[in-house]
Structure 1
Amino acid sequence: MKMSKSKTRTLHCLWLFLLACLCSASLANNAKINFREKEKKVLDQILGQGKYDARIRPSGINGTGPAIVRINLFVRSIATISDIKMEYSVQLTFREQWLDERLKFDDFAGRLKYLTLTEANRVWMPDLFFSNEKEGHFHNIIMPNVYIRIFPNGSVLYSIRISLTLACPMNLKLYPLDRQVCSLRMASYGWTTADLVFLWKEGDPVQVVKNLHLPRFTLEKFLTDYCNSKTNTGEYSCLKVDLLFKREFSYYLIQIYIPCCMLVIVSWVSFWLDQGAVPARVSLGVTTLLTMATQTSGINASLPPVSYTKAIDVWTGVCLTFVFGALLEFALVNYASRSDRAADMHRESIKKKRRDMEQASMDAASDLLDTDSNATFAMKPLVRHPGDPLALEKLRQCEVHMAPQKRPNCCRTWLSKFPTRSKRIDVISRITFPLVFALFNLVYWSTYLFRDEEEN
């Protein structure tokens, strides 16, 4: 009997506990409902019809002066940086914050931290625009990516996600060893600095997403600054962000510089071919020249037509000159070989005439000896005949001894191993072309790699 009474009391206590829990939950739910109703009442109180006019700007500090709007950005991604269009695309979260004392409300002892709106036309908005914008759009998937928060002290925070295509004037004199500065400019369209002033938010006004990857550039750093502009209608507040991009050189080294070097070196192969291999040397020179021209036109197609000379123009122009020079060298060798053949034929004809003259002299001397063989006394002539071979030999020896002796020259001695001028031209080209190209590389890379950043 006692056990049954204890069980009854336990069940009764459990029932009372569950009933208390249900009552507290219902009261909390009713409190939340009442609290949301209070939010509605606050919104109606501060934004109700006839109570707030979004057309009138808020007053400044202490009710006087211009309205102060603080700006901060979060760069989510940088899609493309176009050299030929001189523009870049960026996606960012844009935030504005200002104080509007007309929107103050009771926070109910800290329980109501802020009010959230999704309609920007309900409150006054700064007339900010991006002065170097080409195209832009908002993001509306799944809902419009925008919100407005109103804090109890009247502070308003406006945040929106937007994508912009912005103009970026570039200086391509050092392309592709250059650095580019692309700006993001924000200014007031209608309110002058007497009514509206933009300021960067204190602390960290610009933030960039971690692990930002760009196809051909690296974001080195970014700087914030002010760019107020004066026009005929007044002075307007302006903010700007300068993004410093460094071009990745490895892509251009693999795609442009190394192939051009290979084409130049291939054009030198003709110096080692035989002079008589005319079809091989001509086809090699013409092929490398056309390939180099195609490479140059492909590079220029991806760049805007500018009036100044770029670093890549110097490189491709000199490489094209070397390839063209190799082709002209073969033309010179071919002309020299024909001259060598004509000179050889002329020398052969002279040697033949000299042999004929010597043979005629020997025949005349033998005839003279035959006629005087029957004489009793043979008288030796005091003066030899002009055509006598012994006289000719002594004349040559005298000319050799009388000629001025020149000091031996190593270059001339080395070149004397190659009897023809055409062969000498080929040998000299084998050494001259690589040396001049190596000197050009030394000057080129030392000029563009170690140039001061101020000139970039």
Structure 2
Amino acid sequence: MGTGHYFWVIFYFASLCSASLANNAKINFREKEKKVLDQILGAGKYDARIRPSGINGTENMPTYVYVNMFLRSISKIDDYKMEYSVQLTFREQWTDERLKFDDIQGRLKYLTLTEANRVWMPDLFFSNEKEGHFHNIIMPNVYIRIFPNGSVLYSIRISLTLACPMNLKLYPLDRQICSLRMASYGWTTNDLVFLWKEGDPVQVVKNLHLPRFTLEKFLTDYCNSKTNTGEYSCLKVDLLFKREFSYYLIQIYIPCCMLVIVSWVSFWLDQGAVPARVSLGVTTLLTMATQTSGINASLPPVSYTKAIDVWTGVCLTFVFGALLEFALVNYASRSDMHKENMKKKRRDLEQASLDAASDLLDTDSNATFAMKPLVRHPGDPMALEKLRQCEVHMQAPKRPNCCKTWLSKFPTRQCSRSKRIDVISRITFPLVFALFNLVYWSTYLFREEEDETF
């Protein structure tokens, strides 16, 4: 055999030996890790019921627990129940001098546990929690890391449904602040203090998506509470959500505007089209009432007036006003028709009387006619009346009134008052509605900026 063949045989056996030594080293390393765990957590050596000492092993100092979290998702924000659901990775870190161990010259970076009951744990709870659960698929999503210096890191993935008291006065032009509060249940501040971890204590996933809200910003703070049994440490995160207005603009505001405008179509219909105008007014009124009830069904019954209540209430008033306008037009039309009929009857009677008198004069051949004077005396009342009329015509012409000029296009005739009511309504209703829109949007949009106290 050649020299090259011997070289490859030697290289093969050397590789097998090195792999075997590496496997033995790993086995030995795992055995050492097990030995370290047994050494610090063995029976009679560590008691998980006893609180760790304070800084530098000081017994009369509290244990400081540093908290941080990673906000994974927000599934929903419920306006009716005033709650929101969140999924997060929650982390706590503290120091327990009893858990120090030899890191084997830096080879053993940390020990990993999956059983939280083997070490002491802070008694933290979420004070505004309604429901919550851990994640156990495929394995429980929890771990505990013990570092050589005795530092303990606890991490767990949880889903929570939290209470979020809301102020809906500006709904749907509002911003809501939802909090996540964490506090100690049994240990007072003399024994346990929660602190936010320095440097980005709260992290939020980049592609966080909410259907009708936008997470604008968040703020970490402290909320220690004092009770009869002592003072308890508390942390909180305030999340500022801005409601997306585009959904409500398409689903509520534009349809309500369309219903109001449709109700104005009756102003352009003839007064005699009673079935068409009545059906149009009643249909728009019922549709607007249904729209209002549907909006209120998705909101909690509160004691104050919301921005959406003002909008729907005014729109409902405009639709109802259009229906009342037709009732007024119909009454005015019948009243004018009755007056016109009475005038016609009176003219007919006067004409009949004149015809009868003319017949009598024609048949009386012996009647004598007196010559009327061509020139009247100054004291004659007829001459004075004509003189006054001439003086009126000689006066300077007044400045024409645009409104009267426009209304003069509809002279006095049958149903003239009803026609004028319709014409005035065609201008008045849109102008008043436009003025309402100006006041509404300017008021609530500016109030939204002023009431932002985050």
Same fold (TM over 0.5): yes
Cα distance in 2 for partners of 1:361, 1:381 equals 27
**Which residue is 1:157 aligned to?**
153
1:76 to 62, 72, 79: 72
CA contact (8 A) 2:127 2:181 kept: yes
Taking structure 1 as reference, are residues 107 and 371 closer, same or farther at Cα in structure 2, changes over 3 Å only?
closer
Contact preservation (8 Å) 1:137, 1:162: yes
User: CA 1:273/1:151 → structure 2, altered by over 3 Å: closer, same or farther?
Assistant: same
TM-superposed CA distance for 1:173, in Å, is 0.3
CA deviation profile, 1:274-310 (whole Å, cap 9, x unmatched): 0000000000000000000000000000000000000
Structure 1 contact 198–237 (Cα < 8 Å) conserved: yes
- Bigger Cα Rg: 1
RMSD: 3.8
* Match of residue 51 from structure 1: 45
- Change beyond 3 A, Cα 1:196–1:400: same
CA offset at residue 269 of structure 1? 0.1
For the pair 1:357 / 2:361, whether they are aligned, the reply is no
Distance 1:100 1:405, change over 3 A: same
Q: CA 1:451 to 1:373, structure 2 compared with 1: closer, same or farther past 3 Å?
A: same
SS at match of 1:124: coil
CA contact (8 A) 1:358 1:389 kept: no
Give the deviation of 1:378 after TM superposition.
7.8
C-alpha change, 1:11 and 1:395, in structure 2 (3 Å) is closer
Moved more, 312-321 or 15-24: 15-24
Task: Deviation per CA, 1:121-176: give whole Å up to 9, x if none.
Answer: 00000000000000000000000000000000000000000000000000000000
Cα gap change, 1:347 to 1:315, in 2 (>3 Å): closer
Q: Quote how far apart the aligned CAs of 1:451 are.
A: 1.8
Q: Is 1:284 aligned with 2:280?
A: yes
Judged with a 3 Å threshold, the aligned counterparts in structure 2 of structure 1 residues 50 and 402 are, in CA distance, closer, same or farther, namely same
Asked if the contact 1:71/1:205 (under 8 Å) is kept, the reply is yes
Question: C-alpha displacement at 1:394, in angstroms?
Answer: 7.0
How far 1:383 moved relative to its partner? Answer: 12
Deviation at 1:317, TM superposition (A): 0.2
Seen in structure 2, the aligned counterparts of structure 1 residues 387 and 237 have a Cα distance that, compared at 3 Å, is same
CA contact (8 A) 1:361 1:387 kept: no
Which SS does the other structure have where 1:452 is aligned? Answer: helix
1:31-77 CA-to-partner distances (Å, cap 9, x unmatched) read: 1111110001100000000000000010110222x000000000000
* Equivalent pair of 2:169/2:305 in contact (CA under 8 Å): yes
Q: CA deviation at 1:366?
A: 7.0
How much does 1:409 deviate? 3.2
Deviation at 1:415, TM superposition (A): 1.4
Q: Structure 1 residues 353 and 403, CA, compared in 2 at 3 Å: closer, same or farther?
A: farther
Match of 1:182 in 2: 178
1:310–1:432 distance in 2 versus 1, CA, 3 Å: same
**Aligned in 2, Cα 1:386/1:200: closer, same or farther, shift over 3 Å?**
same
CA contact (8 A) 2:170 2:448 kept: no
The answer (yes or no) to whether the contact 2:68–2:90 under 8 Å persists in 1 is: yes
Point out where structure 1 has 5 or more consecutive residues left out of the alignment.
1-9
Q: In the alignment, which of 126, 137, 149 is matched to residue 133 of structure 2?
A: 137
Rounded Cα–Cα distance in structure 2 between residues aligned with 1:113 and 1:365: 131
- After superposition, the C-alpha distances for 1:343-400 in whole angstroms (9 at most, x for unaligned) are x667667766876787689779979987998899987689999999999997997998
Match of 2:360 in 1: 368
Q: Do the aligned residues in 1 keep the contact of 2:144 with 2:153 (CA within 8 Å)?
A: yes
Q: TM (normalized to structure 2)?
A: 0.88
Q: Please list the CA deviations of residues 171-198 of structure 1 after superposition, one character each: whole Å capped at 9, or x if unmatched.
A: 0000000000000000000000000000
The change in CA–CA distance for 1:151 and 1:415 in structure 2 (over 3 A counts) is same
Give identity over the alignment, percent: 92
- In structure 2, relative to structure 1, the CA distance for the partners of 1:360 and 1:381 (3 Å cut) is farther
Map of 2:401 onto structure 1: 409
- Equivalent pair of 2:110/2:147 in contact (CA under 8 Å): yes
The offset of 1:106, in angstroms, is 0.3
Alpha-carbon offset, residue 12 of structure 1: 6.7
Count the aligned residue pairs: 440
Distance 1:114-1:303 versus aligned 2 partners, 3 A rule: same
C-alpha separation in 2, matches of 1:94 and 1:150: 17
Give the Cα separation in 1 of the matches to 2:13 and 2:432: 99
| Paired residues of 1:372 and 1:378 also in contact (CA < 8 A) | no
Q: SS state of the match for residue 447, structure 2?
A: coil
TM-score (norm 1): 0.87
- Structure 2 spans left out of the alignment, 5+ residues: none
Check conservation: 1:362, 1:389, Cα contact below 8 A.
no
1:315-358 deviation digits (Å, cap 9, x = unpaired): 0000000000000000000000011xxxx667667766876787
CA gap 1:286/1:353 in 2 versus in 1, 3 angstroms: closer
Q: CA deviation at 1:17?
A: 2.7
8 A contact 2:174–2:448 mirrored in 1: no
Relative to 1, partners in 2 of residues 1:361 and 1:397: Cα closer, same or farther, differing over 3 Å? Answer: farther
1:414 deviates by 2.2
Aligned mate of 1:23, from 12, 17, 21 = 17
Q: For residue 203 of structure 1, give the secondary structure of its aligned residue in structure 2.
A: coil
